[in-house]
Amino acid sequence: MVEAVRDTEKSLGNIDYSLSDKAKKSRNFSRSLYVTKDINVGDIFTEENVRSIRPGFGLHPKYLKDIIGKKASKNLKKGTPLNLKLIDN
């Protein structure tokens, strides 16, 4: 019975959630959050000045609802990819 369990464990393999090389290359074609209008320090992020567009170098679009209503920690130019360092909590 122990041998059967060990064989089953081997056949299942290891779970790996890291991106493969192919997935990393295709990440460029996915969407991410970008600044679409110039934003000054302390301005609030809205749906008018932040959009989900390509390429995928910014913050994942799933964070859009979390960002709306927060303030900018730096002056941001149009076309800047968003990241968590640019958002005041």
Averaged pLDDT for residues 3-15: 85
Give 3's pLDDT tier (boundaries 50, 70, 90): very high
Question: Which has the closest alpha carbon to 33: 57, 52, 55, 46?
Answer: 52
**Terminal alpha carbon distance of the chain:** 54
The Cβ of residue 80 has, within 10 Å, a number of other Cβ atoms equal to: 18
pLDDT in tens, 32-70: 999 999 999 999 999 999 999 988 888 999 999 999 999
User: Does 3.20.20.140 match the CATH number of domain 37-89?
Assistant: no
Q: What is the pLDDT of residues 18-39, one digit of tens each?
A: 878 888 788 778 899 999 999 9
pTM, entire model: 0.71
Domain locations in the chain?
Answer: 37-89
